[in-house]
């Protein structure tokens, strides 16, 4: 037995020695930071597991790299003992930390902000045995960082506030849609204090945490602002409870308004901004309507989202232009929405055209949604030609009226359609002759409908502006045209207290260079001409939208080049008084081609314009919000507009036949994650 035991022990001894010399096994698990966050302390948030039976002495080496800049830091902890089992560590548990090497630029940014700059990072931590420097365990994580700027919007900096309960508005760039909360702090300014020093040293006059929206109405329960007192305010952004960004410090002077406070819906401070909406491809907006919650519904087309090609595009924003939801509607071919309105039941209804769900070519496309943008029904209307809807309005008896075109062989006619709340056709009327005729816009004014567009079949030659009056039951009361031997086109119509006006553009010449001039014609309810205004804004201008206020003034939007021939042109905004006098004109966003397509007056006394710009990415839709004088705290380019009163003859049009085709309804919707970009004020 002893002879057998000894050889066996001799055989086992090398194996026991090898096992004793085997390196310890340590499992390293790094804690992934929250999205868009990376701090120095995140490198040392670790769970270590010693799966052996004996305590090992180790240290940790952390290396962070950025995809473009390479290694930015190499650091290691002091040695420590790791007994068998699991141990969780934080930065405090591994101090002191020795930095072996670091990138100077990143070091300076970290010292100033505590955050790393935007980039694509990889962080790896290695557990090393002290005696041998052997790696006994490791783990890595990747983190993409896009630093966020917090931008204040209203109340404007260094302005006066008269509302007892002002609305504070802010946004982020880029936009954060989930996981973000905000805090706001307001302090009083004393003596010659600057807003920054007051924010740093004075106690909070008002503070609120955990705000989930990008605006706050000053609470009724908070301390009242003192008339004649200056205040400073600042907003802080948190992501999952971690401070991410702080805004600038802005100030305002509170001066109590002598008038009675407005109702709650109108108590917010007037907001002024320009924002862009879209994705990575071309997106455009054509129409805007006010909503019951004091926000706006925007309509257009998108290539960034949806089922393919262009898709109809709806974006719901609050009164500060912040996106609440967006949707794309359509199929594999091109679809678009050119008109939108608040629906009778609180949802929304949009009209445009579809090539995805048509009988032969293009059909009128109507989509009805609930308040959250979910499709309730959708239908197409048309025949065998090219059909499209450009404008839709709620009308009497829970109905809707659409203005557009109806294909008729080799040409097309202007077209009006009345539909019920469920989309069923009530009546339809076509306007035109053997040439191309079109209706672009319709309003309900008094007990009648008024629509505008242009006709090539009748009038004085070329295209003439066409205006039609139709009774609620679809009876055509009159159709008229205004024009010369040039082209005059009506693009929008609006009603005021003493009548209404159609806006558009007319082709003229300036130094042998083709140009379009703004065209506005006012008329009474019976169609009598009240005067024509042809105004040129800058070197080249067109009008695509018009709105009226309660005083009888008209506001036009469109496109203008300004006075510099090299300028690419921007969004035009201008005002005509009730008698047609040109009061002012402004051009915005002239750094790239941009246009205003739809305009409304807002509840706070301002103006809201939608359109699109090529200044953002591949092209985005734009919402421009101004005060009543067209001021938006954005870069303005003076177009030096001039007015040219021109008279030309009026001719009546013939009335043409009725026709309509209703096809089975279709419903296709896709969620669109719209990117919101604050263009100005920065």
3-state SS, one letter per residue, for 23-83: CCCEEEEECCCCCCCCCHHHHHCEEEEECCCCCEEEEEEEEEEECCCEEEEEEEECCEEEC
**Residue 286 pLDDT > 90:** yes
- Is 562 in contact with 527 (CB distance < 8 Å)? no
Q: How far apart are CA 613 and CA 486, in angstroms?
A: 29
For 298-334, letters b (16+ CB in 10 Å) and e give: bbbbbbbbbbebbbbbbbbbbbbbbbbbbbbbbbebb
Q: What is the pLDDT of residue 258?
A: 54
Residue 280: CB atoms within 10 A of its CB come to 11
- The CATH superfamily holding the domain 24-145 is Immunoglobulins (2.60.40.10)
Q: How far apart are CA 662 and CA 406, in angstroms?
A: 13
**Residue 612 pLDDT > 60:** yes
**Residue 600 pLDDT > 90:** yes
The answer to which of 147-161, 329-343, 433-447 has the lowest mean pLDDT is 147-161
**Residue 13 pLDDT > 60:** no
Q: Which CATH architecture has domain 149-266?
A: Sandwich (2.60)
Tokens 């009209």, residue located: 351
Residue 43: phi, psi to the nearest 5? Answer: -70, -25
Q: What is the pLDDT of residue 154?
A: 80
**Residue 16 pLDDT > 80:** no
Interacting residues of 1 by C-beta distance below 8 A, sequence separation 6+: none
Q: What is the pLDDT of residue 238?
A: 85
Average model confidence (pLDDT) for the chain?
80
469-482 pLDDT tens trace: 888 888 888 888 87
Retrieve residue 366's tokens: 């109507």
Q: What is the pLDDT of residue 568?
A: 80
- The CATH superfamily holding the domain 273-657 is YVTN repeat-like/Quinoprotein amine dehydrogenase (2.130.10.10)
Q: Where are the domains of the chain?
A: 24-145, 149-266, 273-657
The answer to which of 253-257, 299-303, 313-317 has the lowest mean pLDDT is 253-257
Q: How far is CA 224 from CA 156, 168, 428, in A?
A: 19, 15, 57
Q: What is the pLDDT of residue 285?
A: 96
- Is 347 in contact with 374 (CB distance < 8 Å)? no
73-105 pLDDT tens trace: 898 998 999 999 999 988 778 888 888 888 877
Q: What is the pLDDT of residue 584?
A: 81
Residue 577: CB atoms within 10 A of its CB come to 12
Highest mean pLDDT among 547-551, 588-592, 600-604: 600-604
Measured in whole angstroms, the distance separating CA 246 from the mean position of its chain's CA atoms is: 22
Q: What is the pLDDT of residue 671?
A: 61
Q: How far apart are CA 218 and CA 98, in angstroms?
A: 49
- Is 425 in contact with 443 (CB distance < 8 Å)? no
**Domain 149-266 and domain 273-657 have a common topology:** no
Q: How far apart are CA 55 and CA 50, in angstroms?
A: 8
Interacting residues of 590 by C-beta distance below 8 A, sequence separation 6+: 562, 567, 568, 569, 570, 635, 637
Q: How far apart are CA 76 and CA 66, in angstroms?
A: 19
- Is 313 in contact with 367 (CB distance < 8 Å)? no
Nearest to 177 by CA among 212, 225, 129, 216: 212
114-166 pLDDT tens trace: 567 778 899 999 999 998 999 999 999 998 877 777 888 788 888 888 878 88
For 92-121, letters b (16+ CB in 10 Å) and e give: eebeeeeeeeebeebeeebeeeebbbebeb
pTM, 2 dp:
0.60
28-56 pLDDT tens trace: 999 888 776 777 777 888 999 998 889 99
Mean of the pLDDT values across residues 498-516? Answer: 68
More confident residue, 252 or 356: 252
394-407 pLDDT tens trace: 998 889 999 999 88
**Residue 641 pLDDT > 80:** no
Q: How far apart are CA 295 and CA 608, in angstroms?
A: 11
668-681 pLDDT tens trace: 445 667 788 888 88
Retrieve residue 522's tokens: 């006012």
Nearest to 442 by CA among 480, 476, 410, 401: 401
Q: How far apart are CA 638 and CA 623, in angstroms?
A: 20
Burial label for 381, CB within 10 Å (0-12, 13-18, 19+), is buried
**Residue 295 pLDDT > 90:** yes
């Amino acid at each position: 037995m002893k002879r057998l035991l000894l050889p066996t022990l001799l055989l086992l001894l090398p194996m026991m020695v090898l096992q004793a010399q085997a390196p310890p096994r340590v499992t390293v698990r790094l804690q992934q930071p929250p999205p868009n966050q990376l701090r120095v302390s995140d490198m040392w948030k670790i769970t270590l597991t010693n799966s052996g039976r004996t305590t090992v002495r180790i240290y940790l080496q952390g290396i962070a790299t950025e995809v473009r800049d390479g290694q930015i830091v190499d650091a290691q902890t002091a040695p420590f003992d790791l007994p068998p089992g699991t141990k969780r560590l934080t930065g405090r548990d591994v101090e002191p930390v020795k930095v072996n090497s670091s990138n100077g630029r990143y070091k300076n940014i970290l010292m100033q902000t505590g955050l790393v700059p935007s980039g694509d990072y990889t962080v790896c931590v290695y557990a090393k045995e002290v005696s041998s420097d052997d790696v006994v365990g490791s783990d890595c994580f990747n983190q993409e960082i896009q630093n966020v700027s917090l931008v204040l919007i209203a109340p404007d900096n260094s302005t006066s506030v008269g509302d007892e309960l002002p609305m504070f508005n802010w946004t982020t760039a880029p936009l954060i849609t989930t996981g973000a909360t905000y805090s706001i702090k307001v302090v009083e300014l004393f003596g010659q204090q600057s807003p920054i020093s007051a924010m740093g040293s004075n106690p909070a006059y008002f503070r609120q945490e955990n705000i989930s929206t990008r605006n706050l109405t000053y609470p009724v329960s908070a301390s009242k602002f003192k008339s004649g007192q200056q205040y400073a305010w600042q907003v802080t952004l948190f992501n999952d409870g971690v401070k991410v960004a702080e805004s600038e410090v802005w100030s305002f002077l509170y001066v109590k308004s002598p008038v009675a406070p407005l109702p709650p819906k109108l108590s917010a401070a007037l907001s002024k901004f320009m924002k862009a909406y879209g994705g990575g491809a071309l997106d455009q907006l054509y129409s805007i309507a006010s909503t019951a919650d004091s926000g706006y519904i925007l309509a257009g087309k998108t290539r960034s989202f949806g089922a393919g090609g262009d898709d109809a595009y709806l974006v719901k924003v609050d009164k500060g232009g912040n996106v609440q939801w967006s949707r794309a509607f359509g199929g594999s071919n091109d679809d678009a929405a050119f008109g939108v309105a608040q629906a009778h039941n609180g949802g929304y209804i949009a009209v445009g055209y579809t090539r995805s769900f048509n009988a032969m070519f293009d059909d009128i496309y109507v989509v009805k949604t609930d308040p959250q943008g979910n499709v309730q029904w959708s239908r197409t209307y048309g025949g065998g030609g090219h059909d499209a809807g450009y404008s839709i309005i709620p009308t009497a008896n829970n109905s809707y009226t659409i203005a557009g075109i109806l294909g008729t062989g080799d040409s097309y006619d202007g077209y009006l359609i009345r539909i019920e709340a469920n989309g069923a056709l009530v009546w339809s009327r076509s306007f035109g002759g053997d040439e191309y005729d079109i209706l672009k816009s319709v309003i309900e004014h008094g007990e009648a409908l008024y629509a505008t567009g242009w006709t090539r079949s009748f009038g004085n030659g070329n295209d003439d502006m066409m205006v039609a009056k139709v009774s609620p039951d679809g009876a055509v009361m009159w159709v008229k045209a205004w024009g010369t031997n040039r082209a005059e086109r009506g693009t929008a119509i609006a009603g005021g207290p003493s009548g209404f006006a159609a806006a558009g553009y007319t082709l003229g010449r300036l130094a042998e260079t083709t140009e379009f001039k703004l065209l506005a014609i006012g008329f009474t309810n019976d169609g009598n001409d009240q005067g024509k205004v042809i105004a040129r804004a800058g070197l080249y201008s067109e009008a695509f939208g018009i709105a009226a206020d309660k005083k009888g003034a008209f506001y036009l939007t469109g496109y203008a080049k300004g006075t510099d021939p090299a300028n690419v042109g921007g969004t035009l905004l201008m005002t005509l008084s009730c008698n047609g006098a040109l009061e002012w004109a402004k051009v915005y966003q002239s750094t790239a081609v941009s246009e205003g397509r739809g305009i409304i007056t807002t509840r706070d006394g301002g103006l809201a314009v939608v359109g699109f710009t090529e200044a953002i990415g591949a092209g985005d839709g734009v919402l421009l919000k101004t005060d009543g004088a067209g001021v938006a705290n954005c870069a303005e380019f003076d177009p030096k507009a001039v007015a040219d009163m021109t008279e030309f003859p009026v001719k009546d049009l013939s009335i043409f036949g009725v026709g309509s085709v209703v096809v089975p309804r279709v419903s296709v919707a896709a969620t669109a994650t719209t990117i919101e970009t604050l263009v100005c004020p920065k």
